[in-house]
């Protein structure tokens, strides 16, 4: 069993930046970030392989967000720059310990067994 704890959310003005962290209680393979806005379904944001050598991003965040990880700390990060009001959501990290590499399945919620409790990100205009 792996526990995930997100941190780093908050209120920021449009065009600002935030860095989210996801601390895991043990080793994780593919890590993903998802988000859920009020009244909407949870959606894929980004994923990273165990080595960090492979990443994938949703088109809506490509070029603005960067996913990374530090395996020595069992922590994944999501650096969010040029934030927009439409980025407002609860952000969740997730771990898929059945795969070590990012694949199209990494965009699917069902690929992830472990989930954090979420952290709120609010972007004001």
CB 83 within 8 A of CB 76: no
Q: Over the chain, what is the mean pLDDT?
A: 97
The model's pLDDT over 45-69, given as tens digits with 9 standing for 90+, comes to: 999 999 999 999 999 999 999 999 9
13 has a pLDDT exceeding 90: yes
Residue 100 pLDDT: 85
Say if residue 93's pLDDT is above 90. Answer: yes
Q: What phi, psi does 118 have (nearest 5°)?
A: 95, 155
Distance CA 14, CA 121 (A): 12
48 vs 45, 54, 68, 85, CA distance in Å? 11, 6, 7, 25
Quote the pLDDT of residue 99: 87
Residues 109, 76, 21: CA angle, nearest 5 degrees = 100
- Give how far Cα 60 sits from Cα of 75, 87, 88, Å: 24, 9, 13
Q: Shortest CA distance to 100 belongs to which of 46, 53, 30, 33?
A: 30
Query: Does residue 111 have a pLDDT over 90?
Result: yes
């Amino acid at each position: 069993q792996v526990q995930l704890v997100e941190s780093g959310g908050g209120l920021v003005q449009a065009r600002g930046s935030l860095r989210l962290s996801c601390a895991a209680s043990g080793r994780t393979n593919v890590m993903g970030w998802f988000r859920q806005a009020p009244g909407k379904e949870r959606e894929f944001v980004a994923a990273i392989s165990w080595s960090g050598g492979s990443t994938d991003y949703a088109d809506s965040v490509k070029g603005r967000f960067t996913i990374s990880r530090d395996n020595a700390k069992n922590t994944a990060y999501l650096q969010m720059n040029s934030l927009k009001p439409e980025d407002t959501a609860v952000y969740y990290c997730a771990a898929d310990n059945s795969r070590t590499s990012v694949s199209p399945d990494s965009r699917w919620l069902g690929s992830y067994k472990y989930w954090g409790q979420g952290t709120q990100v609010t972007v004001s205009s």
